[in-house]
Amino acid sequence: MKTLSVCQKCNSLNQVDSEKAKSKKPTCGKCQSELPMHSLVSEVDASALERILKKADRPVIVDFWASWCGPCKMYGPEFEKASTMTDKAIFLKINTETNQALSAKLGIRSIPTTIIFNQGSEIKRQPGALSASGVVSLI
């Protein structure tokens, strides 16, 4: 399966082979910079999210987090683990501190919040931290 990530340096949208990304940190096909990925979770901003939603061939699951949020720190590794357990969705994370306009637009009131998008629209929203298997069963 292929997952998607956007290079933070040159802004290229990259297709990343999921199996290869599990063992080696993927690099941008255009500028060779390391892609902002943790396990199979790509760190994106509002515009990268929009581009990925347009290109995605399956649901996109997003962890909305913040650096000051304690439960987010516990949830991050679980979300990353979940990304290696299923390829039914593309996994992304968005920092709500640096993407405040998007967070306001989506009406995110508590973090962490997990949102699943399909064909560009929100289909499911779950506030609070989950276990890795909890994330997988959400999809």
Give the integer Cα–Cα distance in Å for 25 and 138. Answer: 27
CB of 13 to Zn ion, least distance (A): 10
Q: How far is the CB of 43 from Zn ion (least distance, A)?
A: 14
Per annotation, catalytic residue among 7, 10, 31, 69: 69
Q: Is 72 tagged catalytic?
A: yes
| Cβ-based nearer residue to Zn ion, 35 or 106 | 35
Nearer to Zn ion, 28 or 116 (CB): 28
Q: State the DSSP string of 65-131.
A: E-TT-HHHHHHHHHHHHHHHH--SSEEEEEETTT-HHHHHHHT--SSSEEEEEETTEEEEEEES---
Q: Which residues bind Zn ion (CB under 5 A)?
A: 7, 9-10, 12, 28, 30-31, 33
The residue annotated as part of the active site, out of 10, 28, 31, 72, is 72
Q: Is 69 a catalytic residue?
A: yes
Q: What minimum distance in Å lies between the beta carbon of 15 and Zn ion?
A: 13
Which among 112, 79, 92, 85 has a CA at the least distance from the CA of 36? 92
Catalytic residues: 69, 72
